[in-house]
């Protein structure tokens, strides 16, 4: 996944959990512990108390579900001020382990708490505020006026079922009898680490047990009277002002997460219980002078919600899929690749594409609920990045639409990406953005899979040298499969790029001519760059080392006859899809001059690829032709002076 964020790009810098009760708003949790803001500042003037803010619009939250609160200004007064400020009971013992005057993202915690806890008028609406280059996004959820969550009918049904009781063990530790998650009091021993990563349930399933007390219970993890939570909001802090990315974060992450948490809260007081657990741990950490890093570790180990928020941050920040568990059920969150700020340009998925798995097959299969009978499991087992989907569908006797559906599913959940089929007769070079900084981390992983084969540093060294056909590295036919697996490993981790050949048809003598594009000179040669049996051109290294962009067109005047410098320039057919009358005549001359009857027959079929934009290596797979035969035809066109080519990534 692409974790690089260019300067100025929108990116996720923090996730915050805000709750509100009668005593006021509370910043319960945030990750990371010290978010890096672009321009950290402290609010110079905190807004005056607004006693009517919380209550004046009570009950208006569901009237306009699509309404959005959006404030974009250099500085804004905090919204949703606490109407009961100064009347907080001793529950403040569970407050943040740091002082309330500490800064976060350049603002005091008190200011952020009031800023990010709007009144009930904002319930179930998009919440967005931009301050000093930081955009705060959320989707607030509020309880009803009577303090209950969800509809009245749902509340009545829930009250008819006895709430799970809390009991105290010999150490005075409060535990829920119906769950294996312990609520740890400040003086109790810490519970062992909970691994939430491999749970089989789904949010489609509603047969989960309660994870805590009911709203009517007065027991809490800290032993203090439990206040009814009136509001909660998970806030995403973004750096930058890219509105498309901000909208995607809200639609695909914040909104879905809020709805899932609301369901858990409505059924089992989940957010209330997890918040009290987090605050109890923070209170204990404050008493023990625990460092912020150690406190964060404890919170993530003992609170499922804290772990989930950390997972969301770490995955969404690098455009990956966040798979989390909430109250025993699973939820996956991600942003579609076309809406991420750093989504790289990738080939579209077609029947001629191949699929590159981004995880080992064994890992993917173990994550499936029914790996023995699942169609997806069958597809994963039979997959190979050297096979186009069209051939795979034929080999597996699976309809094409099902193959495309399974492929789109894997791509959507970041388990695979579409690539051009890997082939030993292609030329691969070291990618300009290869993650060399991750080499030390990947060396042992590579070594475990490819023992007794060239090491990862050796492969990187070869690929960074003069371009050569990849198949020339394979010592024998028996080594072909492991060497292609090495190539797939290198491609998966971003180390290789395919060096492709592009070209135009021309009428004239064999020789070299230079064309300019964007002020840069490119060499085009009359020598085949496709076949490994022919020598590479002398300018290959220079071409690869220069700009890694494909030259798609030539200036219009380059296609005609010019003698302004005393040198005759032959005609290049730049756009075979829009032939002029003169170009039709030129093409006829090419056809008539060819000595190979099969090439004359196939040339009209291949004509569209000679436009400087389509890779000539793709002709065979896209047209259902033998690759060796196509290479032979390209060599003929080169040798007879009818094809001008260049190579680029």
Instruction: Examine the pLDDT at 86 and tell me if it is beyond 80.
Output: no
pLDDT band (50, 70, 90) for residue 226 = low
Q: What percent of the chain has pLDDT over 70?
A: 65
Average pLDDT over residues 222-235: 75
Instruction: Examine the pLDDT at 122 and tell me if it is beyond 50.
Output: yes
pLDDT band (50, 70, 90) for residue 22 = confident
Report pLDDT for 366: 85
Q: How far apart are CA 43 and CA 113, in angstroms?
A: 13
Instruction: Examine the pLDDT at 162 and tell me if it is beyond 70.
Output: no
Report pLDDT for 218: 36
pLDDT band (50, 70, 90) for residue 404 = very high
Report pLDDT for 636: 93
Q: How far apart are CA 584 and CA 6, in angstroms?
A: 47
Report pLDDT for 487: 97
Query: Using one digit for the tens of pLDDT, what is the confidence trace for 422-435?
Result: 999 999 999 999 99
Report pLDDT for 152: 63
Stronger pLDDT, 568 or 429, i.e. the higher one: 429
Instruction: Examine the pLDDT at 214 and tell me if it is beyond 70.
Output: no
| Full DSSP string of 98-112 | S-TT-EETTEEHHHH
Residue where the block lists tokens 């569908």: 393
Render the burial of 162-181: b for 16+ CB within 10 Å, e for the rest.
ebbebeeeeeebbbbeebeb
Stronger pLDDT, 193 or 629, i.e. the higher one: 629
Report pLDDT for 101: 42
Q: How far apart are CA 477 and CA 455, in angstroms?
A: 20
Instruction: Examine the pLDDT at 498 and tell me if it is beyond 80.
Output: yes
* 581 class by beta-carbon count within 10 Å (0-12 exposed, 13-18 middle, 19+ buried): exposed
Average pLDDT over residues 582-591: 88
Stronger pLDDT, 58 or 434, i.e. the higher one: 434
Report pLDDT for 119: 83
Average pLDDT over residues 132-140: 90
Q: Calculate the average pLDDT of the chain.
A: 73
Range in 157-166, 307-316, 369-378, 389-398 with the lowest mean pLDDT: 157-166
Report pLDDT for 466: 93
The most confident of the ranges 69-83, 156-170, 457-471 is: 457-471
Average pLDDT over residues 352-363: 92
Taking the model in full, what pTM does it have? Answer: 0.56
Query: Using one digit for the tens of pLDDT, what is the confidence trace for 600-632?
Result: 999 999 999 999 999 999 999 899 899 999 999
In whole angstroms, how far apart are CA 88 and each of 19, 22, 91, 377, 629? Answer: 14, 8, 7, 56, 82
């Amino acid at each position: 996944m692409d974790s690089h964020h260019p300067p100025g790009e929108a990116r996720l810098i923090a996730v915050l959990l805000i709750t509100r009760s009668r005593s006021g708003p509370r910043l319960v949790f945030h990750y990371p512990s010290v978010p890096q803001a672009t321009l950290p500042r402290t609010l110079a003037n905190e807004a005056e108390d607004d006693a009517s803010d919380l209550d004046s619009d009570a009950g208006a939250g569901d009237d306009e579900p699509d309404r959005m609160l959006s404030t974009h200004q250099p500085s804004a007064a905090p919204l949703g001020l606490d109407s009961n400020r100064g009347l907080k009971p001793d529950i403040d013992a569970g407050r943040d382990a740091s002082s309330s005057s500490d800064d976060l993202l350049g603002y005091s915690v008190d200011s952020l708490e009031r800023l990010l806890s709007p009144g009930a008028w904002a319930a179930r609406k998009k919440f967005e505020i931009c301050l000093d280059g930081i955009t705060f996004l959320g989707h607030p959820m509020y309880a009803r006026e009577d303090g209950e969550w969800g509809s009245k009918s749902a509340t009545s049904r829930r009250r008819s079922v006895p709430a799970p009781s809390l009991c105290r063990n010999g150490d005075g530790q409060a535990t829920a009898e119906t769950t294996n998650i312990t609520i740890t009091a400040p003086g109790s021993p810490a519970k062992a680490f909970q691994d939430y990563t491999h749970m089989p349930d789904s949010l489609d399933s509603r047969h989960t047990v309660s994870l805590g007390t009911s709203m009517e219970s007065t027991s809490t993890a800290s032993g203090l009277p439990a206040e009814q939570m009136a509001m909660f909001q998970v806030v995403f802090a973004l750096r930058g002002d890219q509105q498309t990315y901000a909208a995607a974060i809200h639609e695909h992450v914040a909104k879905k997460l809020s709805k899932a948490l609301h369901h858990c809260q409505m059924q089992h007081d989940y957010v209330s219980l997890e918040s009290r657990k987090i605050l109890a741990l923070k209170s204990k950490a404050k008493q023990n002078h625990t460092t912020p890093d150690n406190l964060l570790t404890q919170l993530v180990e003992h609170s499922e919600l804290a772990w989930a928020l950390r997972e969301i941050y770490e995955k969404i920040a690098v455009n990956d899929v966040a798979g989390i568990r909430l109250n025993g059920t699973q939820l996956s969150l991600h942003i579609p690749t076309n809406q991420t700020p750093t989504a790289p340009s990738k080939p579209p998925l077609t029947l001629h594409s191949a699929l590159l798995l981004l995880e080992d097959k064994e890992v993917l299969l173990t994550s499936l609920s029914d790996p023995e009978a699942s169609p997806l499991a069958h597809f994963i087992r039979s997959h190979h990045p050297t096979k186009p989907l069209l051939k795979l569908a034929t080999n597996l006797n699976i309809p094409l639409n099902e193959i495309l559906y399974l492929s789109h599913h894997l791509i959507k959940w970041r388990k695979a990406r579409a690539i051009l089929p890997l082939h030993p007769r292609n030329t691969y070079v070291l990618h300009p953005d290869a993650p060399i900084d991750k080499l030390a981390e990947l060396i042992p992983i590579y070594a475990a899979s490819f023992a007794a084969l060239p090491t990862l540093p050796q492969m990187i060294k070869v690929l960074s040298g003069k371009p050569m056909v990849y198949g020339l590295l394979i010592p024998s036919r028996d080594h072909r499969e492991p060497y292609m697996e090495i190539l797939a490993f290198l491609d998966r981790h971003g180390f290789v790029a395919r060096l492709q050949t592009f070209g135009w048809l021309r009428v004239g003598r064999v020789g070299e001519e230079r064309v300019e594009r964007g002020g840069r000179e490119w060499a085009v040669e009359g020598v085949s760059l496709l076949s490994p049996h022919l020598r590479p051109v002398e300018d290959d290294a220079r071409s690869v080392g220069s700009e890694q962009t494909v030259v798609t067109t030539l200036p219009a005047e380059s296609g005609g006859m010019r003698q302004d410098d005393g040198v005759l320039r032959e005609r290049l057919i730049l756009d075979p899809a829009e032939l002029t009358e003169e170009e039709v005549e030129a093409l006829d001359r090419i056809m008539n001059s060819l000595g190979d009857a099969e090439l004359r027959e196939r040339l009209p079929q291949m004509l569209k690829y000679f436009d400087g934009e389509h890779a000539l290596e793709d002709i065979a797979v896209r047209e259902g032709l033998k690759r060796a035969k196509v290479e032979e035809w390209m060599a003929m066109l080169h040798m007879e002076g009818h094809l001008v080519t260049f190579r680029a990534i």
